[in-house]
Amino acid sequence: MTTNKDIATPIRTKEILKKHGFSLKKSLGQNFIIDSNILTKIVDTAGLNKQTNVVEVGPGIGALTEHLARSSKEVIAFEIDDRLLPVLEDTLSPYNNVTIINKDVLQANLKEILSNKLDLTEPLMVVANLPYYITTPIIMYFLESTVRIDTLVVMMQKEVAERVTSAPGSKAYGSLSIAVQYYMDAEIAFIVPKTVFVPQPNVDSAIIKLTRRETPAVEVLNEKIFFEVVRAAFVQRRKTLWNNLSGRYGKNEGVKEKLIEALDYAGIDPKRRGETLSLVEFGKLSDGIYLKLLKLN
């Protein structure tokens, strides 16, 4: 098999953009990688093999896509910018295991699209350089999808990666940390300097690896209430749990009484702030609120 010349070099990227007269859209977060070593590290982090199918979001001009195509069984890449379709048709022409879907992944029927192309009983990963402006919705979309995705290896702003992987008590810890860690084990694999992109963003990035837990991190009575309580606890970070929860559920005497019972049930001091609670404590608190306050309504 002949080795195709990598897309991810400064010269080849410039050639491709010039050939197709392509101008980047800042609104779509288009930053293209020009260092093949980074892409090799991403593929190594994912541990791809020819039994693995991959979903990519935002393939751009195909720099990461071609590395995925070389290492996996099938690649389904969602690209929202239809101006890139002829570019991708050109750059990815050597690979017959890539399908480009011209849709916003957040608006797509993922199960229907993937089941038309893949055997969903086979291993499935998401590997992508995510557009910065929409990183969190995309991650949560895949975590909550009816399509089981066991691993995500994705690039995002370093600051967001620190939020996703942070522990209780840290400044970065918040509702995003809890939402992701409820479903997945999360780790930062490596940092990606801003110098390997065209155009160069203002901040460094990180590759994060999310591996699905066999069961969620905590067992709760009502998952919807768990996430509701977590969001409420961080509405105003500097405020106490008591202030945030009473702001969410009401301040009349009956509600306050039930909230006190819920906090007592969970063994949590109402003067604490949300950022100090572990996932287990949030689980106990949400169970308390469900049992003492909401189940009665």
Note the pLDDT tens digit of each residue in 161-211. 999 999 999 999 999 999 999 999 999 999 999 999 988 888 999 999 999
pLDDT in tens, 4-61: 689 999 999 999 999 999 887 766 667 889 999 999 999 999 999 999 999 999 999 9
Tokens of 211: 């591996």
Topology of the domain covering 10-212: Rossmann fold (3.40.50)
pLDDT more than 70, % of the chain: 97
pLDDT for the residue 2: 41
Q: Where are the domains of the chain?
A: 10-212, 223-294
User: Domain 223-294: which CATH class?
Assistant: mainly alpha
Say whether 287 counts as a known binding-site residue: no
The string of DSSP codes covering 125-145 is EEEEE--GGGHHHHHHHHHT-
d(CA 175, CA 285): 15
- pLDDT score of 296 more than 90: no
pLDDT for the residue 294: 84
Tokens of 228: 């509701």
Say whether 250 counts as a known binding-site residue: no
Say whether 7 counts as a known binding-site residue: no
Q: Give the amino acid at 196.
A: V
Say whether 31 counts as a known binding-site residue: yes
- pLDDT score of 266 more than 90: yes
Residue 19 sits at φ, ψ, to 5 deg, of -55, -40
pLDDT in tens, 88-105: 999 999 999 999 999 999
Say whether 113 counts as a known binding-site residue: no
Contact between 142 and 128 (Cβ < 8 Å): no
Contact between 41 and 191 (Cβ < 8 Å): no
Q: Say what the pTM is.
A: 0.91
Q: In the 8-state DSSP scheme, what is residue 95?
A: -
Question: Helix or strand or coil: residue 36?
Answer: helix
Contact between 50 and 99 (Cβ < 8 Å): no
d(CA 12, CA 32): 12
Question: Helix or strand or coil: residue 150?
Answer: coil
Contact between 273 and 241 (Cβ < 8 Å): yes
**Rounded mean pLDDT, 211-240:** 95
Q: Return all residues near 256 (Cβ < 8 A) that are at least 6 apart.
A: 246
Say whether 223 counts as a known binding-site residue: no
Angle among Cα 54, 58, 62 to the nearest 5 degrees reads 75
